[in-house]
Each structure stands twice: as C-alpha cells, then as structure tokens.
Structure 1
C-alpha cells in the first residue's frame, strides 16, 4: 500500500516537473510576437503613404483645384469631388481613365472649342515635347487633336487601352482598326508613349 502511494507521488512529481518548465517557456516566448506585431503595424502606415496621388481639375466644375486621390482611382472618382456644372460637356471626357500623379483634367462646357493644350495635363515630359500627344494617357479631347483621329477612333484607342493595357511602342497604334501604315506615318512624329 505504501509502495503504491509512493509510486503515485513519484508520478505526480514527474508530471509536475514536465508540465511546469513548459509553461514557463511559453510565458517567456509570448512577449516577442506582440513586439513583432507592433513593429509590423508601425511599418504599415509608411507603406500606405505612397498610395496617394495629386490630380488637378479645371474648367466647368463647381470646385476646381488639386485633389488627393488613391492611386487606383479613375477620372469619374475625382469628378464626384469636383462636381461638374450642369453645362459641363462630359461626353468629351473619358471618365473610366485611371488617374496619374500630376494629371490635369479639363472639363469643357457644352459647345466649347477648347484651346487646352493636352500636354499640360500629362506631365512634364510631354510639356517639353510640346506638340506630341501621349497615346497611353490622352483622353478623347487630346487624341482628336491628332490628324486623322476623330472621336470614333479616339474611343477605339481608349477601348484598346482598357482591354490590352498601355501601348508598348508607337507602332502598336496600328492595332486600332482604321489605322494603317500610312496613317501611322503621318501620326508618328506627333505621338508618344512616355
């Protein structure tokens, strides 16, 4: 009887020795994941800082100016903030185009013949080139300034960009129906993809 009680006591001591060191190790490890979590959460805002772009809206809008927008926003999103006037000609604006940092969007009034230089809205590189239109960023008003490109072909260019992505080289514009080699030769000096 004493032997059985002694064996039971030894078994309890062995089990206690095996259990308690494990619990103390777990307690020592617990603070480290929480510190790592704090470090990760501190890094996340830094990564989010680069997700904003600045876009300027001019023309027939109630609130013209510079708007801070998410990187994946589209022209439609910034127009909701700028609030186009009732007389605004929104048919000449590609509202599905993705916004680009430092982009300028000009909203003309109905019947207005714009003398807006397309290069003004699409970055300093095209401003330096002066008379070139970026076929990767230009909207219908900019594309129709090109010789031989009317509203229908301009819309085909926008549709192509939406379906296939950006033009990788100038020659890719010949993938648009109605733009062959002769048309491309006349367009080539006046278009850019940069």
Structure 2
C-alpha cells in the first residue's frame, strides 16, 4: 500500500513539473494573434508612406540625406506611394537602388 501511494505521489509530482515546463515553453497567444502575426510579417520593413527622411536614410542602402529628402518631398507633392515601384519616379532613385532595397520596403 505504501509503495503504491508513493508511486502515485511521484507520478503527480512529475506530471505537474512536466505541465509547468511545457507551459513555460509554449508561445504566448492572444485573441488578436492573427493581427499580430500580420504585423510581425512587416516588422523591419520601411513604409514609404510614413517614414521620415531620417528613417529612410538610416534604413535604406544607397540612400543618403539628399535622396531621403527627395523621397519625402515626392510623397508630399504627389500623395502616398501606390507601389514600391513608384519609387523610381523620385529623382535620384534608380533601378539599382530600388532593387537593393526592395525587400525592405512596403507601402501601406
């Protein structure tokens, strides 16, 4: 009797430790997980329609102060970018610069 009681107690203890470890390793989810997943897919991308000149300069390859300012000026004059390819309309931005940065860019 004592042996079966000890076995049951040991089983309960090991089960609770296993559940605690599994819960600690499980990712935290919330009811808005699909929205969060969508947002995280865009993490690290530069939104051409909202980024300021400093952000464009810092995040994009081959874009210095003058080109970053030109992007913002173009957006102010023509409205939001409809696509990343529209960046080619900005003076000083060529196909090579666009291709170097295409994966970093988004328009929302």
Cα distance in 2 for residues equivalent to 1:147 and 1:177: 16
Partner of 1:173: 87
Matching residue within 64, 79, 101 for 1:187: 101
Query: Unmatched 5+ residue regions in structure 2?
Result: 1-35
Distance 1:182 1:161, change over 3 A: same
Matching residue within 47, 59, 69 for 1:134: 47
Cα distance in 2 for residues equivalent to 1:171 and 1:136: 13
Aligned-residue Cα RMSD (Å) equals: 1.7
| SS of 1:138 mapped into structure 2 | coil
Equivalent residues in 2 for 1:69-80 (5 A)? none
How far is 1:127 from its partner?
Answer: 5.0
Equivalent residues in 2 for 1:1-194 (5 A)? 128-144=41-57, 145-194=59-108
Query: Unmatched 5+ residue regions in structure 1?
Result: 1-123
Distance 1:131 1:162, change over 3 A: same
Cα distance in 2 for residues equivalent to 1:180 and 1:191: 15
More strand by share: 1
Task: Return the TM-score normalized by structure 2.
Answer: 0.59
Number of residue pairs the alignment of both structures matches: 71
More helix by share: 2
Task: Return the TM-score normalized by structure 1.
Answer: 0.34
| SS of 2:75 mapped into structure 1 | helix
How far is 1:128 from its partner?
Answer: 3.9
